[in-house]
Amino acid sequence: MERQRKQLESSLKEVEYLFSREEIIRSTGEFCSSLRKRGRAKLCFSSCTPLSVGATSDEGRMIGVDER
């Protein structure tokens, strides 16, 4: 029972982590598209890749972020 509880807790932490990561990436993407609209795509490229917020390609794929 105790072991199951610990597994559930760690799964919950992982899910919370991925959701917070997705929020960061989504807000970075929104920031990015606003830069693109104003013709500042060069600034965008470096600030908008998932790597800039510390996501690995696996995490990016997991939460539906396209790889660059």
Token pair of 56 as six digits: 């690995």
Q: How far is CA 40 from CA 8, 33, 34, 35, in A?
A: 44, 9, 9, 5
What type of residue sits at position 12?
L
Helix (H/G/I), strand (E/B), else coil: 56: coil
Q: What does the alpha-carbon distance between residue 4 and residue 52 come to, in Å, rounded to a whole number?
A: 35
pLDDT per residue over 8-24, tens digit each?
888 888 878 777 777 77
Q: What is the pLDDT of residue 39?
A: 63
- Residue 41 binned pLDDT confidence (cut-offs 50, 70, 90): low
Locate the domains of the chain by residue range: 2-62
- Residue 68 binned pLDDT confidence (cut-offs 50, 70, 90): very low
